[in-house]
């Protein structure tokens, strides 16, 4: 059976980002009211975050599908964690977990999340930690080797998405904390001394050094991270 291709997963994601960027640029030019442009930019960020979530989920499955050896060890460890010492001894002496060298996409998804949900992470560090137990070292390193800037951008994307989705005091604080990260400084996404209260205004703002909006900075940075993974 043909394996999933991480290259194809990356290509699909980057094409979707390009489509989103083109849609934003074309629509933003046609709008005249500031409130409309705020609505557009906020929903475009939400769309980018959804694309990122699906991309990460599909990419992890593709890497496991390509080489399941490390994931097989993870399954064995997960099985043993639920056993008593006596049961572990019985398994060691008389039992054996036979995991195929090539797990199918559907099997991986069922083992990772039996409810059929995307594999999601609250921050980039949690994603990196999970790859160490799921992926072979060469693939896990693609995540672990991301720079402080790249990690900060991903954490900022997640935090802004959460604020737009929940608009709670907790998500507002988490967003401002994420946007204060030093790693964001070279991107133009780092906030100043004042907290961000209006996400639309923040995302619409032009980054002078790049002459594009902060939303477009997010989309550009996502392209770069995807290529590196």
Return the half-sphere exposure (C-beta side, CA atoms, 13 A cut-off) of residue 123: 10
Q: Is residue 201 part of a domain?
A: yes
Name residues whose C-beta falls within 8 Å of residue 46's C-beta, 6 or more positions apart in sequence: 161, 164, 165
**Which residue range(s) make up the domain with 35?**
6-66+119-228
**pTM of the shown model:** 0.91
The answer to the question of residue 104 being in a domain is no
Name, in order, each residue with C-beta under 8 angstroms of 185's C-beta and a sequence gap of 6 or more.
none
151 inside domain:
yes
Q: Is residue 80 part of a domain?
A: no
In the three-class reduction of DSSP (H, G, I as helix; E, B as strand; rest coil), residue 207 is classed as: strand
User: Does 96 map to a domain?
Assistant: no
User: Residue 78, by phi and psi: left (phi above 0), alpha (psi -120 to 50) or beta?
Assistant: alpha
Q: What is the pLDDT along the chain (229 residues), one digit of tens a residue?
A: 567 899 999 999 999 999 999 999 999 999 999 999 999 999 999 999 999 999 999 999 999 999 999 998 888 887 778 778 887 787 777 777 777 777 888 889 888 876 777 888 999 999 999 999 999 999 999 999 999 999 999 999 999 999 999 999 999 999 999 999 999 999 999 999 999 999 999 999 999 999 999 999 999 999 999 999 9
Inside any domain, residue 37: yes
| Cβ pair 206, 213 in contact under 8 A | yes
Best CA proximity match to 59, nearest among 125, 175, 140: 140
Whether the Cβ atoms of residue 45 and residue 218 lie closer than 8 Å to each other: yes
The residue among 11, 125, 120, 113 whose CA lies nearest residue 56 is 120
| DSSP 3-state percent helix, strand, coil across the chain (nearest 5) | 70, 0, 25
Residue 166 lies in a domain: yes
Report the domain count for the chain: 1
195 falls within a domain: yes
Task: Say how far apart CA 92 and CA 80 lie, in whole Å.
Answer: 10
């Amino acid at each position: 059976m043909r394996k999933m291709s991480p290259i194809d997963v990356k290509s699909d994601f980057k094409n979707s980002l390009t489509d989103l960027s083109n849609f934003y640029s074309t629509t933003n030019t046609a709008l005249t009211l500031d409130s409309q442009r705020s609505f557009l930019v906020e929903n475009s960020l939400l769309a980018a975050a959804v694309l990122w979530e699906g991309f990460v989920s599909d990419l992890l499955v593709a890497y496991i599908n390509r080489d399941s050896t490390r994931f097989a060890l993870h399954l064995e460890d997960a099985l043993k964690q639920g056993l008593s010492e006596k049961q572990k001894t019985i398994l060691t002496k008389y039992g054996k977990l036979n995991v195929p060298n090539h797990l199918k996409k559907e099997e991986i998804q069922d083992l990772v999340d039996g409810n059929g949900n995307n594999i999601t992470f609250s921050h980039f560090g949690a994603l990196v930690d999970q790859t160490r137990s799921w992926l072979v070292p060469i693939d896990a390193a693609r995540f672990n080797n991301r720079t402080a800037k790249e990690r900060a951008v991903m954490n900022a994307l997640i935090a802004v998405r959460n604020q737009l989705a929940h608009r709670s005091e907790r998500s507002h604080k988490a967003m401002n904390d994420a946007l204060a990260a030093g790693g964001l400084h070279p991107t133009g996404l780092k906030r100043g001394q004042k907290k961000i209260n209006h996400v639309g205004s923040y995302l619409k703002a032009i980054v002078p050094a790049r002459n594009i909006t902060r939303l477009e900075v997010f989309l550009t940075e996502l392209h770069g991270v995807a290529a590196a993974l």
